[in-house]
Structure 1
Amino acid sequence: MAREEVVPRGARCQVVVIGDRGTGKSSLIIAVATDSFPDKAPPVLPPTRLPHDFYPDRVPLTIVDTSSRQEDKMKLEMEVKKADAIVLTYSCDRAQTLDRLSTYWLPELRRLEIKVPVIVVGCKLDLRDDQQPSLEQVMAPLMHEFREIETCIECSALKQIQIAEVFYYAQKAVLHPTAPLFDQETQTLKPRCVRALKRIFILCDQDKDGALSDTELNDFQVKCFNAPLQPAEVVGVKKVVSEKIPEGVNGNGLTLTGFLFLHALFIERGRLETTWTVLRKFGYDDEIKLRDELLLNPSFKRAPDQSVELTEKAIRFLTGIITTTDLDGDGVLRSQDLDEIFSTAPSSPLEDPVYGNAVETNAAGGITFDGFLSLWAFMTLLEPQKSLSYLVYLAYPEDPSSAFQITKQRRQDQKRQHSQRAAFQCFVFGPTGTGKSALLNALIGRPFNESYEHTEGDTYSTNMVELDGGLKKALIMREIDEESVSNLLGKGNALAACDVAAFVYDISDAVSWKRAVELLVQVAAHGETNGFEVPCLLIAAKDDLEPDSAIIQSSAQVCAEMGVEAPVPVSMKLGDLGNLFRRIVNAAQRPHMSIPETELGRQNKINRLFLQRSITAAAVGATLVVAAITFYRVYYARKHLSGS
């Protein structure tokens, strides 16, 4: 593959030269800067800057000389902490300086927690004894022990042997480091590098046949290196791969295995710039993470009562991932399928308990298609930026902004008397012990648990709910801990994100019913005061128990007075939910109905109506007076003219 240098934005390179006294540090710097050997080098040189075009990467390189005297140790420590790379010197004619690399200098860099590449340089190559072991023999154990060593090289400032190469390797180690890409011990690509290259492969495999055809290889080559591959080069690339790893090439072209093998080969042969060019062209930074500008656009600016949803285009993309991953066609994504789906991302959203505990899974950790799609709907509603990030990491092929849409405001939906949202959020209120958690568990198919466990904080569950006609909507249920209701409603826009509120009570417990009504009134009053009124449903839980007759009578009165539907009886224990989830979604789709009205809210509405009518009447009266005066003036003027 042809080479084009692509370096990080704002790249700079500061190389600090350290080593024992008399190893040739200053002479090395003078030799690279002037192409000459100094008769007498000063003890320590001032910082030396090479021209930006000195090396092909065209990145300014500054070389900092140091003193190894004990009294200058503090200054040396300060310089190495600012370094982008370290050149560590020893003298080829003094074995003790070589020993000092492992006994002092490299351990000292570790003590200072210096995390930059180290280039070990043997100076005074012209004085080296031919009987000494080769550089490879000497350096192999040292590099094995100290992985921070990027490369080793010998040079001679006097003879101008490999002087420029020393700082070329140092700059290359900064701009194209080995450590993030390759594990020297196992001689394999590192997991993060594999994830990135796999995502790049998926993006380039436009026909999704699992291989890069000659055309796709050329498109990739042009994107990364601004030059197409010649037919003979394509044949050569595939030949090299197939000879070393037969499964790297198939009838359709270069497979992912072959693609990864090629990059491992480039790195082993010292062509790290090739892999780094590819990574940077596809948006990766020096830590092999996608750059922020790819993950933070669009900004999702919206009103409090608007939410973010996936577009049909994004849903088709996710559906395509599902169908290609579910090879056995059983409609369930097993844990290994999910690992494969998120193998190009730094992690899986399911590792976050907020999401992992909110979706329906089977005993083996598998997720149904509906569960997978509702997970995305939930993540997009709760953290759209995270949803965007995962879509990009999963190789969404188009502009990320095409995957998201901002919904209409809930207030507008109420005026239209219909909501077309694809995902609805239901806040679940209720006294402690009424079965709120059991209700959330029922949404995601978890069996009823007789033992009671108090839920602290907010928890979620999400699933797709099928409506009449086969249409499906994502339902996100959020359990509101009773102790946190006051804090929640202390915010003026607390209900802005709520499409429907459900109030759960124990059908056999009068205290539970009373508290549920208090919460209903509290929520209704908050909506009336702050302009975020929401449909409300009462849920009579534990319908398998003997109902309290007083509750039945009271509930009929409360529903009539507040204008809400009769309570929905359910029994999580018996699994009798009476189409509850469908009723919740239907209530959310008709946001003008089932809105409770408090006595104070009703009186305020009457007062506003009276005031409005008074203003209207006054306006009409004023209009009639003006009209009468105008008529009189016209009449008087005409009479006056006729009399004259």
Structure 2
Amino acid sequence: MAGGAPAAGGAGNGVRIVVAGDAKTGKSSLIVTAAAENFPTNVPPVLPPTRLPVDLYPERVPVTIIDTSSSPENRDRLVEDLTRADAVVLTYACDRRETLDRLSTHWLPELRRLEVKVPVIVVGCMLDKRGDQQPVSLEQVMSPIMQQFREIETCIECSALNHIQIPEVFYYAQKAVLHPTAPLFDQEQQVLKPRCVRALKRIFILCDHDRDGALSDAELNDFQVKCFNAPLQASEIVGVKRVVQEKLREGVDERGLTLTGFLFLHALFIEKGRLETTWTVLRKFGYNNEIRLCDDQLPPPIKKYPDQSVELTTEAMEFLRKIFFTYDVDCDGALRSHEVEDLFSTAPENPWNEAPYVDAAEKTALGGLSLDGFLSLWALMTLLDPIRSVETLIYIGYGSDPLSAIRVTRRRRLDRKKQQTERTVYQCFVFGPKESGKSALLNAFIGRPFTEEYVPTTGNRYAVNVINQPEGLKKTLVLREIPEEGVKELLSKKDALAACDVAVFVHDSSREPSWEKATEMLVDVASQGEATGYEVPCLIVAAKDDLDPYLTEIQDSTRVSQDMGIEAPIPLSTKLGDFSNIFHRAVRAAEHPHLSIPETSAGKSRKQYHRLLNRSLVFISVGAAVAVVGLGVYRVYSAKRNSSS
């Protein structure tokens, strides 16, 4: 592989380099000499923004250099410039040791405090003033500082007076922005970073057209043309493979360059300072400086109403079924953790290793994900973060138009009017006071054994599973547990219930305070729905049915459900495994979104008022119509009488 002119991905409209450091360390002289190629005789205290000639470096990317003042009165301007920088050049004077010490005691800690996370180039200016009487090794001086501050990309000494290494200063700064080391390579371990390995593995697989695990000479040549717009000569291909094989026997086999060899080559390029080669490859395949796909590789932001959701299309689901069976290497009908890791090994990370996806789906007896569990997690990710879901699909090999993977569902408000829904994924909010049995319900839904130990839920928790319907249909139900202390905050938002298909209110049927609190939540949710137009079907769950109910539990709960016009409370016991078909009932309520909607007293009064108002308007309309007809008859009668006379 040979490097061509690298793309300037991540540079935006150019590279903005900010030069900072103590006073009189040569900042302005450095900038003027780089721009004008002449040492200045008179330099103003702070230069205006300076543009370098666009053809100064091979990348032909515009470079703007910002001079700064270190005086206290100009601190606000300095902070603003530093926080907008693409790279920072920190200067010290080669003949003044105290300015070098200030880098580690002031400037570098200050950059961290301001959270300026960009490459730093440390530059020793006025090399001509140090003289031969003060011999010192730059590596010896800078090594301890670079060990402490990993953000330092490189160090260099220069002399503006003698024109020594002036263009190189800003070339290294520009290169650090366009081709940063940090995302690719771990300097301490001297290995490619995991995310870089994952991206290169995906690129390798995309270029391995015959899927035989190696790049043949033809595939290697196609890769070269795609990335560098120039083919490889047969002798060059032989040379590349020889270099790899000499260092790493398994890097080449009878079929061609293996993945191990491909990764080794890139590590070699980086070690030799040819980062632009690896960056060119990454950018040709759509990666940005964070080694994620650029925005232009993904669907645009999804425009939808709050009461619309996003689901995977049939095409995407078929792709995922094929992927499941491809990675189920042992053919046991489940993906074990190592198989899931392998599946996501071409993505920047396994998205399901973090909340809310970790432990959100049912596992088999041996700890694997069944096909239903696998598809359930994809449905959950698409519901909560559709763009990331599509991004991950692309990483694992989805080759169709990204927009073909998802669809926006019809508005829930319209579903209620039409009294049916086309949705296949339903989100159920699970409300209830502490220790009412919410978590136990979610655990039961994904097949976890009952435990007596109470573990409070501090944030939103999800559980997702497939519900088998009559005639072989499958629906996905997402349970979202709302902690008691989170209800008020949730309902403070106008669109809080827009994404909810059904709400379940759980109470401990053996404790009256639990019922009272659950009822209060039910009324609050119903009131919110009535006020915002996001009414949701509601179910009441009387949990812990294995315990003795408090004296008037059945009477109280039945009365409330009748008053609000919803189904009677559903008794269940997660301890005994008696769920009263609650999950199917939740899906049924979501499928008929016009039913099971509770009405508060205020809501009933409002409806009665509107009915009376509508009736009055009807009477007025009828009266007006009669008057109009009467007037018309009178006019006809008058006209006739006048004509006869």
Deviations 1:251-307 (A, max 9, x none): 665433232122223223433221122223334344545445556x52233222222
Are residues 605 and 334 of structure 1, via their aligned partners in 2, closer, same or farther at CA, if it must alter by over 3 Å?
same
Cα deviation code 1:516-572 (max 9, x no counterpart): 444434433332333222112222222223456743455445444433223323210
Deviations 1:442-464 (A, max 9, x none): 11222111133444454332222
Q: How many matched pairs?
A: 615
Stretches of structure 1 that go unaligned for 5 or more consecutive residues are 91-96
* 1:268-279 superposed matches below 5 A: 268-279=271-282
Report the AA paired with residue 198 of structure 1: K
* Mapped partners of 1:226, 1:638: distance in 2: 95
Residue type of the partner of 1:6? A
Listed as ranges, the gaps of 5+ residues in structure 2 are 112-118
Question: Is the Cα contact below 8 Å between 1:85 and 1:116 reproduced in 2?
Answer: yes
Q: Distance in 2 between matches of 1:558 and 1:173?
A: 67
User: For residues 65 and 591 of structure 1, what CA distance do their matches in structure 2 show?
Assistant: 63
SS of corresponding position for 2:264 = helix
| Distance (whole Å) between structure 2 residues aligned to residue 54 and residue 473 of structure 1 | 61
Conservation of the 8 A alpha-carbon contact between 2:120 and 2:173: no
For residue 421 of structure 1, report the CA deviation from its aligned partner: 1.5
Equivalent-residue separation in structure 2 for 1:640 and 1:421 (angstroms): 68
- For 1:596 and 1:44, the matched residues in 2 are separated by 77
**Cα pair 1:31 1:157 within 8 Å, conserved:** no
**Alpha-carbon distance change, 583 to 50 in structure 1, aligned in 2, over 3 angstroms:** closer
- Bigger shift: 556-565 or 530-539? 556-565
Distance in 1 (CA, whole Å) between partners of 2:530 and 2:36 is 77
Give the C-alpha shift of residue 580 in structure 1. Answer: 1.7
Conserved in 1, the CA contact under 8 Å of 2:310 and 2:383?
A: yes
1:340-390 deviations in whole A, cap 9, x for unaligned? 344444444344343324333468864444333323322332344544554
Residue identity in the other structure for 1:194:
V
Q: Corresponding residue for 1:595? A: 597
Equivalent-residue separation in structure 2 for 1:153 and 1:554 (angstroms): 83
User: CA 1:106–1:372 in structure 2 vs 1: closer, same or farther (change >3 Å)?
Assistant: farther
Aligned twin of 1:323: 325
CA distance in 1, matches of 2:497, 2:63: 57
Alignment partner, residue 311 of structure 2 = 309
Q: In structure 1, what is the Cα distance between the partners aligned to 2:403 and 2:496?
A: 28
Say whether 1:116 aligns with 2:120.
yes
The 3 A distance-change label for structure 1 pair 557 and 217 is same
Which residue of the other structure, out of 254, 264, 267, is the alignment partner of 1:261? 264
Q: Deviations over 1:406-432 (max 9, x none)?
A: 221111111221122222111222343
What is the letter of the counterpart of residue 317 of structure 2?
I
Closer, same or farther: CA 229–495 of 1 in aligned 2, 3 Å: same
Q: SS of 1:474's equivalent?
A: strand
Q: Counterpart in 2 of 1:438?
A: 440
SS in 1 for 2:429: strand
Counterpart in the other structure of 1:605: 607
- The question of 1:586 aligning with 2:563 is answered no
Shift of 1:397: 3.7
TM-score where L is the length of structure 2: 0.78
Secondary structure in structure 2 of the residue aligned to 1:356: coil
Quick check: 1:6 aligned with 2:7?
Answer: yes
**Farther-moved stretch of structure 1 (193-202 vs 235-244):** 235-244
Deviation at 1:30, TM superposition (A): 6.6
Which residue in 1 is equivalent to 2:285? Answer: 282
- Contact 1:242-1:249 at 8 Å conserved across structures: yes
Counterparts of 2:25 and 2:410 in 1: how far apart (Å)? 74
Alpha-carbon separation, structure 1, partners of 2:580 and 2:196: 51
User: Structure 1 pair 379/483, CA: closer, same or farther in 2 (3 Å)?
Assistant: same
Asked whether the 8 Å contact 1:314–1:403 carries over to 2, the reply is yes
Cα distance in 2 between the residues matched to 1:22 and 1:533 = 67
| DSSP 3-state at the match of 2:480 | strand
Partner residue of 2:114?
Answer: none
Conserved in 2, the CA contact under 8 Å of 1:505 and 1:541? yes
The residue aligned with 2:474 is 472
Partner in structure 2 of residue 195 of structure 1: 198
The secondary structure found in structure 1 opposite 2:464 is strand
- For residues 219-298 of structure 1, the aligned pairs below 5 Å read 219-229=222-232, 233-234=236-237, 236-250=239-253, 253-291=256-294, 297-298=299-300
- Answer yes or no: is the 8 Å Cα contact 1:117–1:174 preserved in 2: no
In structure 1, the residue matched to 2:450 is: 448
Contact kept in structure 2, 1:507 and 1:543, CA below 8 Å? yes
SS at match of 1:408: coil
CA distance in 1, matches of 2:262, 2:210: 16
Q: Write the letter of the residue equivalent to 1:501.
A: A
In structure 2, the residue corresponding to 1:301 is in which secondary structure?
coil
